[in-house]
Amino acid sequence: MKVPDSYRCWAEIDLAALRHNARIARERVGVGVALLAVVKANAYGHGLAEVADALRDEAQLFGVANLLEATAARQAVPHPIIILGPALPAERAEILAREFIPSISSYAEAREFSLLALNSSIAINCAVDTGMGRMGLAEPEAMTEIARIATLPNLTIHSVSTHLPVADEDPAYTRGQLERFSSLMTRVRGEAPGSYLAHALPSAGVAGFPNSAYEIVRAGLMLYGAAPDPTFQRLLHPVMTLKTRVAFLRHLPAGSSVSYGRTFTAPHALRAATLSAGYADGLPRSISNREAAVLIRGRRCPVLGRVTMDLTVVDVSSVPNVTVGDEAVLIGRQGEEEILATEVATRASTIAWEVFTGIGNRVPRVYG
């Protein structure tokens, strides 16, 4: 992708890789399962409108966190949009008017939507809490509550869902969740008949439990080419390459300190490059002094001292002919080397989701 030489830090978004990952999700769960593409948090930092538009032929539904995101997604695609987070009371009328699908956590909440609908109708997603603990119908009362909700006027149950908190960490617990949810769905479909769809699997679930796909799977992180499981990672294509430029070069004598706190002191003379990116651009400050690196001319260059808001210093002693203006890759591939978002997350003691969503608004996204 060609970008202006004036760009100091930018993210290149490979839309072909995005579509490839969507097809991997579909293939994993088999024919007949709809793909709900999760585009919340600005499509995990990749650009909500551009990602949604690129997936219009791959996804059957889109998932967002709130009304604001749903409105942005609607401007990009005509597909059904499920609001995965709880709606505030002040948002309900607009959710109804725009025909978004809210996720509800109680009979009382569903009743409020029913009352608002009057002579119209609203479709809802009944979220069931099987272990996540942050929203949803309480599991022991879920059957009773869904049966009551199904009798409300002006309202239809589009889907029943649950969420998996440890699909990538605790297979035994996740299997138990899925078994309980399966039992609940059997009861729901028997005792409160309706054309309900069901969905339980996020990306980690698609990777580890594809036989529990139901009618919909919610692909999020995997769409953007990141997976917690190295085996599954090989099937995906990273979508984003985060780049910056060398802004300054200098020779540091032995004993020179670098950055705030003087947490790094050069043990010997070295050549240092100052990069035009810092934690305001998405390079986490928490990678400081954690053996993190960037790629310049296809080689790994260690980060020196603390990452600052706008600038980062790296050691380029082993890279010949580095010049001001050279591209440096913070996330992505350059030559034969690659730095995955999951590697950055490990260095930062966090997760790839936070790395992606932490890329600041001042970083232009370039699509190709």
Q: How many CB atoms lie within 10 A of CB 310?
A: 17
- Distance, in Å, from the CA atom of 269 to the CA atom of 7, rounded to the nearest integer, reads 31
Based on DSSP, count helices (H) and strands (E) in the chain, helices before strands: 12, 20
Q: Phi and psi dihedrals of 243, rounded to 5?
A: -125, 155
Q: What's the sign of the alpha-carbon dihedral 179, 184, 186, 187?
A: positive
Could you confirm whether 196 is annotated as catalytic?
Answer: no
CB 88 within 8 A of CB 111: no
Distance CA(69)–CA(76), nearest Å, equals 11
Distance (Å, rounded) from C-alpha 289 to C-alpha 214? 45
Strand-pair partners of 245: 327
**CA-to-CA dists, residue 24 to 178, 207, 234, 317, angstroms:** 22, 10, 11, 41
8 Å CB contact between 87 and 102:
yes
260 labelled catalytic = yes
> Which residue out of 44, 260, 279, 367 is catalytically annotated?
260
Cα(328)–Cα(303) distance, integer angstroms: 12
Among residues 2, 40, 44, 173, the one annotated as catalytic is 40
Give the distance from CA 141 to its chain's centroid.
Answer: 31
- Phi, psi angle pair for 298, to nearest 5°: 75, 10
**Main-chain dihedrals φ then ψ at residue 317, nearest 5 degrees:** -60, -30
The one-letter code for the residue type at 174 is T
Q: Are strands 293-296 and 299-304 parallel, antiparallel or unpaired?
A: antiparallel
d(CA 195, CA 149): 14
Q: Please give the structure tokens belonging to residue 100.
A: 């978004």
Report the alpha-carbon distance of residue 280 to residue 207 in Å, rounded.
Answer: 32
Q: Structure tokens of 146?
A: 């869904």
Q: Residue 252 in contact with residue 281, Cβ under 8 Å?
A: no
Active site residues: 40, 260
